[in-house]
Each structure stands twice: as structure tokens, then as C-alpha cells.
Amino acid sequence: MPGYKAHIGAGIVFYALAAGLGAWLVEYRAAPPQAVLMGVLAILGALFPDVDTSSKGRHLYYGALAVVDAVLLLKGQYKWAAVIGFCGLLPALGPHRGWTHSWWAMLLVPLPVIILPEMFYGLTWKMTFPYYAAFVSGYLSHLVLDKNF
């Protein structure tokens, strides 16, 4: 079974491939800060399926969520902080290699990346879809490495 380093590396590779495909098919090119954020989302997507077990990936994933949650709280973004906290609880709802290792979870788990900015800030799905795609590309890399896809 691949470790967290392999999943991070694969997440970066799959994100780079997805970004290249996006640039080629729809001529989408993210500015450097957005590209970095999308890369981070791809890494989080690559780590997410294993957050239901005690692992280094789990510690990295929840460490990143804790930092993001703290920043949101300090900036008064309580709705976003609550959403992050709620989403952090979801992996506890099943056994290891259960729902988190499924193709439908790969598509559903990152949906808040599209839905919440629209609900809270009126951003269209077209504006947030690249971020969703980045998370999905990382998630897909995990499923491919674990031979679940």
C-alpha cells in the first residue's frame, strides 16, 4: 500500500496533468497564487481517502484543516470555519477503505468547493470549478495508486 509521500507525489502529478489538460482543452491558465492553491487542494484530495485511519497523511490533512480553520476564525469567517469543521468530521462515518475509497466520494466530497462559494459569496460554479477539479485530480490519484479505480 503506498504511503503518504507516494500519494502526495501522485496528487501533484495528476494535478499537473489536469492543469495541462485544462490549458489545452479550454485554454484555462491560473495565475500563480491560484495555481498554488489548486496544487494544495490536489494534495489534500490525494490524502483525504486515508484520513479515516491513523497515518501521517491524516496528521498532515487535519493539520492543514486546523490552520485554515484558525485563520478563518481569526478573520471572522465563522460560516466557513463551521463548514471546515463539519467536513473534517465526515471520515469518521465509516470504516477504513470504506466510502472514502469510492469513485462517488471522489466526486461528492469536494462539491462544497463549488457550492459554498456560490451560497456565501455569489461566485458562479465556473469560477470555482478549477479548484474542484484540482481536488478531484488528487483524489483520483489516490484511488489509482490504491487500485480502487
Q: Given the C-alpha cell 496544487, which residue does it identify?
A: 39
pLDDT for residue 98: 79
Residue 31 contacts by C-beta under 8 Å, 6 or more apart in sequence? none
Closest CA to 130 of 33, 65, 49, 7: 33
- Domain hosting residue 100, numbered range: 4-145
pTM, rounded to two decimals: 0.84
Looking at the 3D structure of the chain, how many domains does it have? 1
Please indicate whether residue 14 or residue 26 has the higher confidence score (pLDDT).
14
pLDDT digits (tens, 9 = 90+) for 43-102: 999 998 988 778 787 888 888 888 988 998 999 989 888 888 887 777 777 776 778 899
3-state helix/strand/coil string of 15-79: HHHHHHHHHHHHCCCCCHHHHHHHHHHHHHHHHHHHCCCCCHHHHHHHHHHHHHHHHHHHCCCHH
pLDDT digits (tens, 9 = 90+) for 90-130: 777 777 677 889 999 999 999 988 988 888 889 999 999 99
